[in-house]
Structure 1
C-alpha cells in the first residue's frame, strides 16, 4: 500500500495537504520544547484535526502518507549552536518516525526542484518496486491517546540488502551533515547513508538497506558529485544506472527478527537489489 492513489498530479489536494504537514513537521522539529516528553503530545491536536482526511495517525506518521513520511533525514542546518542530534531521553516514537529524534528534520527527498515551489511529486507504481506497507501498530488505544508506547511498530515488505559504512565519512564537520558512503561486501560504493544520529553509525559498521522508492533526477536534494565522480543525469532514472532511496536499518537487540532505523539511504544502485529476497520487517 504505497501512497494514496488519488495523487494524480503535483498539484492534487492530497499532495498539497501532505506538503503542508511536512512543512509543519520541519518547522516544529526545529523548536526546543521546555519539556522533551511533550514533543509528540504537543503536535497531537493538529494531527487529530487532520486524521479524518489523512486516514490513521501514529507518532508523527499518517498511514496515507507512507512511504513518503518515512523518507525524512536529520539535518544540522537549523540546529542551535552547542546542541547535537540525539535520541530523546524518554521514548517518544518508533525509530522510523521523525519524532524518534531530537533535532531538525527535512523531507526534501520528497520534493523536486522544477515543480512549483518544490511540492511533493507524483508517485508512479514503478517507483516503489516491491515495497508494501503491511501494518502500523500502536499498543495505546486510539480513543485514549495517539501517543505510542515501546510496543508500537510499523511492518513493511520489500527488498533488503546488507551494506557497510565506508572507513570515513564522505562529509563531516561542525556545521556539515555527516554522510557516509554505503559499500557492498566487496567494499564497492553503492550509495550514501545519512545517519539519523551521527554517533550511531561508525566506520565499517554493517547495516541493512530496505529499498523503498526510485530516485528522481530533479530531486531537491542533489546527489553529491563525490559519490560516483559525476553528477546525476536524466538517464539515471530509467537506465541500468537507476538508483533508489530507502531506510538504513540495524537489528533490534531487544526483539528477535525486528529492526530499528538508523538513517536514510540515498542514490543506492538499484541493480544491487535485483537478486535480494523480499522480506517482511517490523521496525520498532
Structure 2
C-alpha cells in the first residue's frame, strides 16, 4: 500500500496537466469600462479577494462659489460577485464673498452584488446600496453641535453590455436624503449612462459619462468626457472633466483619480 501511495504522488507531481485539471476554475467575469466620476463598488462580477485603493482630487466652478473636493476610498470583494466600499470625501469651498467651508463631508459605505454574468452575451446586471452619513459642520457660536446632520440612502441598479470594444453601462436609482434637524426627507432620482471605447489588449479606455439628476422637479445634466490610462498592470490614472448641458448653478469641473489594485 505504501508503494501505491508513493507511485500516485510521483504521478501527480510529474504530470502538470493533471495538477491543472484539479485547479478550481475562476468564476465567470465580463470586463466592462467602469465610470470614473460615479465609481462602482468593485468591478461587475468581481472575484473574491480582489481589492482597489482610490485617491482623487477635483475642482468645480459654480455661479456663486468654487469647490475643491478630495476623497480616499477602499473597495474589495468579500465574496465572488459581492463588493464593499468605504469612502471619506472632503470639501474645500469658497463663495463669492470670501466665506470658506472646509470639512470632511461624511462617511460613505456601499455594497454591490452582481446577480448576472453572461459571458456569451457580454452582459452583467447588479444591484447595490450606498449609505452616507453626513457630518455636521462645526460652528463655534453653537454649543453641542451634532456629529451628523443627516444621511443619504441610495439603492441602485446597474446594467452593462459590451458590443465588441464598445462598453455601455447604466446606473440608476432613487436617492433619499434625510435631515435630522428639519426632520424632512427629500427624494431625488439619479440616472448615469456611459459609453466607452476599450482599447484592445489593454486596460485603457476613453468615453463619456452622462450624469443626470432630478431634484425638486429640476433636471440637471452634466456630460463628463473621460479617459483611463493603465500605467502598469495594477496602477492607473483617470481624468474627467464636466461640461454642463442643463444646470442652474454648475459651470465646469475637473477631477483626477489614482487607482491602485494590490495583488494579494
What is the TM-score with the length of structure 1 in the denominator? 0.23
Q: Name the structure where strand makes up a greater proportion of residues.
A: 2
Q: Which has the higher helix share?
A: 1
Higher-Rg member (1/2): 2
Tell me which of the two structures has the higher relative contact order, counting C-alpha pairs closer than 8 angstroms and 6 or more residues apart: 1
Q: State the TM-score, normalized to the length of structure 2.
A: 0.24
